[in-house]
Amino acid sequence: MSGLGGLNKSPNGVVIGLAQLQLPDPHTREALAAQVDKVVAMVGKARRSSNAMDLIVFPEYSLHGLSMDTNPEIMCRLDGPEVAALRQACIDHRIWGCFSIMEYNPDGNPYNTGLIFDDQGEMKLYYRKLHPWVPVEPWEPGNLGIPVCDGPNGSKLALIICHDGMFPEMARECAYKGVEIMLRTAGYTTPIRHSWKITNQANAFCNLMQTASVCMCGSDGTFDSMGEAMFVNFDGVPLVEGNGRADEIVTCELRPDLVREARVHWGVENNIYQFGHRAYVAVKGGAQDCPYTYMHDLAKGEYRLPWEDDVVHKDGSAFGYAPPTRTFKG
């Protein structure tokens, strides 16, 4: 199914490379520029190593590292030199690219942002992380929803970032919008290894969707990221798994046409369809109500857990952040 990492690309295949990028630690404009050069060079490596590769995916934090430094001097802007260099790399090497930036926000904390450019340098997807990894991460909550885009060779793509993938609603939203390949970029460290694997598999199986996921890799002298690139088929079975070797590009051919086939023809475990058509054997068309209390409460702005008052961490104080005073305006 993996086509030997794209060595034997099929007419309907999409070959993706997941870059297990060495974890950086930039704190100056000069260090950020050097890291941009490193990522641009890796785009070239991706193309040289595989003529068949359609898309190269870089992890979350691939420019900024895990320091959580929110210094405006090293934040990126969509019209800034860092994004321009990433865009140009896709043009120069005739390849799609998925990149991570920490985006300057004049109205609050920076956004944790993901970008996808096509092989002509056109921005195809612009996403701001919906679920920062609290209480550790200081990023502003995303306000763009979960966008999807048409990808290479007729595929439909979405991008979620790191902790987003721990919420099954994120993957379900992607599939509901027609996504066949869900990318997940991350900066996770080794304690999350097991959770990383089982959620990548569950997100794929529960939505008849293929997932392609990658973390930063190696040590910056303080943190140790795990790499662990992972491709999972729509039946939940891993196709290709990476390791902890920094700067390795792990490749796989995915088949979105088989995702589309399964979504149409599967009966048993076609969960993305059955979710909105409960018990269609017993009642015509299945029950199409919404029996989930948490969905109703969330929609009304009344989401509240039975143990809400006992939750200890409700802001970033434990990690040195001052309690926020602003409320979210979506």
Catalytic choice (90, 98, 162, 252)? 162
Catalytic choice (129, 156, 206, 248)? 129
Compute the radius of gyration of the chain from its Cα atoms. 20
Q: Is 30 a catalytic residue?
A: no
Phi/psi of residue 317, nearest 5 degrees = -55, -40
Catalytic choice (9, 60, 156, 215)? 60
Strand partners, 159: 183
Helical axes 29-49 vs 81-93, angle rounded to 10°: 10
Q: Is 73 a catalytic residue?
A: no
Q: Is 284 a catalytic residue?
A: no
Q: Checking DSSP bridges between strand 224-226 and strand 217-219, what pairing results, if any?
A: antiparallel
| Displacement of CA 13 from its chain's centroid (Å) | 20
The DSSP-derived string for 276-297 is TSBTTTTSTT-B-S---HHHHH
Exposure of 286 in the CB half-sphere (CA atoms within 13 A): 11
Which two three-digit tokens encode residue 140? 């502003």
Which two three-digit tokens encode residue 28? 């100056």
Q: Which residues are catalytic?
A: 60, 129, 162
